[in-house]
């Protein structure tokens, strides 16, 4: 029935037919009652991921860290934070995951270290330290002020004065996250050695934190997408990835349709794929960014996702995601986290997972977890929210408006503990959770959703299975339809003689949809959020958030 295009067979990589899952360890599962998720907790839940059909896990940082940014500030790349476990636990996680066919992808945070990393401790001890040049130091401006006006992504100046040595160091994030100086070959060598050390322990790849920032030229004000970026990535590939069957995904907020292929083009020798964010940044407020929530326009959203499908059709590879630990919950942003929660969660999953690329599920998405609503600013933990609270008020947002923005787009709202059961603390911990558990866990939890044959988990499980079974999903051509339709997301996939049509109603209203001629199809229902459909033609009525896929006979 289904055929592979002849050249596909040798070209395909395991991560092109895999479904990925992101674990934010602090909030996944706590094994010892200290309120913080940990590696033994993850191991105890591996069967959940195996049942879901996951091919690899992107594990947010578990390395030694003072946790100023929940582990994105690393003080030792070759050790595990004690609250998360030990190196022995990590080895066990890698082995137990592998035994279930799941690769562990670690988070490579090498744009910066923690200020408590031994390199920085040494570097700041004196101007003549051998590690001084591991970081980016500049003299004060003639008036003693900042070397230039570069701003931190977390708000405020990107420079902090080191009083003892009289120079400023650069930090594109928090002051506890000094930027590494990638122009120094010793830095690059140290990073590559560390990567190889982890590969030798059996990991399946790396997600690379803000990798588009490593090649900055600060004196020219360049931070993202610097001139030497692709030289560094090619060097990294030669020194670490070449010859290994691993997956790499670079986080690149600056990636665009014009430069995407430089990262993931098949003959570039760089990365497997990048996370690009055009579908996020398009909806940011020009003055207040994410802190002043803006509604998502479906036509614009489709335009962006369709353009990426097209741009990486012949070469390169897309990552597919609605959410992660920095972004709000998918169902709260793009669907309906009230009455239409289950239907819209399934709809969003259907649209995304049947595109060409590697889909990523953010923990809890597989049961339709929603954004947490906090009542007061003091309940937030995140450094980004805390820093921006005063800054945004200086820019004219009221405290109440900021709270609304933070509740819509803040990072903590999607970082609340995983909801395993309806019980105390959602079964996440027997102690006091580090961040409040969403009170809706009594209704929304893994146990309840998995017990429902029409639940969200079951829907995701089917999608992962379809992806591994049908090459058309990973490799078929993508054609957008009804691009101007304000309510419907529709596309077709083709591979050789095979054909697949996907239709989704993005609204909570019933919609009459005139099927475009090229999209009409008759065959068998592959998946449906509600009643299965086997044909598509003429005018059809779509139920609220209805989504389905039909495979041609």
Name residue 90's beta-bridge partners: none
CB-CB neighbours of 378 under 10 Å: 8
Q: What is the DSSP letter of 495?
A: E
Q: Is 139 exposed, middle or buried (0-12, 13-18, 19+ CB in 10 A)?
A: exposed
- Which of Ca ion, ligand TEU, none does 255 bind, CB closer than 5 to 8 A by kind? none
Q: Please report how close the Cβ of residue 154 comes to ligand TEU at its closest, in angstroms.
A: 7
CB closer to ligand TEU, 89 vs 384: 384
Q: Please report how close the Cβ of residue 420 comes to ligand TEU at its closest, in angstroms.
A: 23
CB closer to Ca ion, 64 vs 211: 64
**Considering only residues 51-70, where is the footprint of ligand TEU by CB under 6 A?**
69
CB-CB neighbours of 149 under 10 Å: 11
- Which of Ca ion, ligand TEU, none does 158 bind, CB closer than 5 to 8 A by kind? none
Q: Contact between 336 and ligand TEU (CB under 6 A)? A: no
Q: Six-digit token pair at 303?
A: 């335009």
**Considering only residues 71-110, where is the footprint of ligand TEU by CB under 6 A?**
72, 109
**Considering only residues 181-220, where is the footprint of ligand TEU by CB under 6 A?**
209-210
CB closer to ligand TEU, 113 vs 474: 113
CB closer to ligand TEU, 61 vs 417: 61
Query: Which positions are catalytic?
Result: 209, 251
- 355 CB-side CA count, 13 A: 27
CB-CB neighbours of 172 under 10 Å: 22
Q: Please report how close the Cβ of residue 499 comes to Ca ion at its closest, in angstroms.
A: 49
- Which of Ca ion, ligand TEU, none does 34 bind, CB closer than 5 to 8 A by kind? Ca ion
- Which of ligand TEU, Ca ion, none does 365 bind, CB closer than 5 to 8 A by kind? none
Dihedral (Cα; 536, 539, 543, 545), 10-degree rounding? 70
Q: What is the helix, strand, coil percentage profile of the chain, to 5?
A: 35, 20, 45
CB closer to Ca ion, 30 vs 365: 30
**Considering only residues 149-188, where is the footprint of ligand TEU by CB under 6 A?**
153, 173
Q: What is the DSSP letter of 313?
A: S
CB closer to ligand TEU, 69 vs 458: 69
Q: Cα dihedral sign for 345, 348, 351, 353?
A: negative
Q: How far apart are CA 428 and CA 31, in angstroms?
A: 8
Q: Please report how close the Cβ of residue 174 comes to Ca ion at its closest, in angstroms.
A: 24
β-strands 247-251, 205-208: how paired?
Answer: parallel
Q: Please report how close the Cβ of residue 304 comes to ligand TEU at its closest, in angstroms.
A: 17
- Which of ligand TEU, Ca ion, none does 210 bind, CB closer than 5 to 8 A by kind? ligand TEU
**Considering only residues 364-403, where is the footprint of ligand TEU by CB under 6 A?**
384
Q: How far apart are CA 312 and CA 266, in angstroms?
A: 11
Contact between 387 and 154 (Cβ < 8 Å): yes
- Which of ligand TEU, Ca ion, none does 173 bind, CB closer than 5 to 8 A by kind? ligand TEU
Closest CA to 180 of 144, 231, 232, 140: 232
- 50 CB-side CA count, 13 A: 12
Site string for ligand TEU, 261-290 (x = CB under 6 A): -----------------------------x
Would you tell me which residues interact with ligand TEU (CB under 6 A)?
69, 72, 109, 153, 173, 209-210, 251, 253, 290, 325-326, 384, 411
């Amino acid at each position: 029935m289904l055929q592979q295009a002849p050249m596909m067979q040798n070209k395909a990589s395991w991560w092109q037919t895999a479904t990925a899952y992101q674990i934010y360890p602090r909030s996944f599962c706590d094994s010892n009652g200290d309120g913080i998720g940990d590696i033994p907790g993850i191991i105890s839940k591996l069967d959940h991921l195996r049942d879901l059909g996951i091919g690899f896990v992107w594990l947010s940082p578990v390395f030694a860290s003072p946790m100023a940014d929940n582990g994105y500030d690393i003080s030792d790349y070759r050790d595990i934070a004690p609250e998360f476990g030990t190196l022995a636990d990590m080895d066990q996680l890698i082995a137990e995951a592998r035994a279930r066919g799941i690769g562990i992808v670690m988070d490579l945070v090498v744009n910066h270290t923690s200020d408590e990393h031994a390199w920085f401790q040494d570097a700041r001890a004196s101007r003549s330290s051998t590690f001084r040049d591991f970081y980016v130091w500049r003299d004060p401006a003639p008036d003693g002020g900042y070397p230039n006006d570069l701003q931190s992504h977390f708000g405020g100046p990107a420079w902090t004065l080191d009083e003892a040595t009289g120079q400023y160091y650069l930090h594109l994030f928090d002051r506890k996250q000094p930027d590494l100086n990638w122009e120094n070959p010793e830095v690059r060598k140290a990073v590559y050695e560390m990567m190889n050390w982890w590969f030798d322990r059996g990991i399946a790849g790396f997600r690379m934190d803000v990798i588009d920032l490593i090649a900055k030229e600060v004196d020219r004000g360049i931070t993202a997408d610097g001139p030497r970026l692709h030289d560094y990535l090619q060097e990294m590939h030669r020194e670490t990835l070449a010859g290994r069957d691993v997956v790499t995904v670079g986080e690149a907020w600056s990636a665009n349709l014009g430069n995407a292929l430089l990262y993931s083009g098949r003959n570039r020798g760089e990365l497997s794929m990048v996370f690009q964010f055009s579908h996020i940044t398009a909806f940011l407020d020009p003055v207040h960014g994410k802190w002043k929530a803006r509604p998502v326009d479906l036509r614009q959203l489709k335009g962006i996702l369709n353009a990426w499908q097209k741009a990486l059709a012949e070469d390169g590879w897309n990552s597919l995601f609605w959410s992660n630990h920095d972004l709000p919950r998918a169902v709260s942003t793009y669907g309906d986290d009230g009455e239409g929660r289950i239907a819209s969660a399934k709809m969003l999953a259907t649209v995304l997972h049947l595109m060409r690329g590697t889909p990523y599920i953010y923990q809890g998405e597989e049961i339709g977890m929603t954004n947490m609503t906090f009542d007061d600013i003091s309940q937030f933990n995140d450094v980004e929210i805390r820093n921006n609270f005063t800054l945004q008020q200086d820019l004219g947002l009221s405290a109440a408006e900021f709270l609304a923005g933070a509740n819509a787009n803040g990072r903590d709202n999607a970082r609340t503990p995983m909801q395993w059961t309806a019980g105390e603390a959602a079964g996440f911990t027997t102690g006091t959770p580090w961040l409040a558990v969403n009170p809706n866990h009594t209704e929304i939890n893994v146990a309840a959703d998995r017990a429902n044959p029409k639940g969200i988990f079951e829907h995701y499980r089917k999608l992962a299975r379809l992806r591994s079974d049908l090459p058309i999903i990973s490799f078929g051509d993508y054609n957008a339809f009804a691009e101007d339709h304000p309510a419907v997301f529709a596309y077709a996939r083709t591979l050789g003689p095979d054909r697949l049509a996907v239709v989704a109603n993005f609204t909570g209203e019933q919609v009459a949809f005139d099927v475009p001629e090229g999209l009409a199809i008759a065959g068998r229902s592959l998946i449906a959020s509600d009643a299965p459909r086997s044909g598509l033609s003429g005018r059809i009525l779509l139920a609220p958030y209805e989504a389905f896929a039909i495979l041609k006979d």
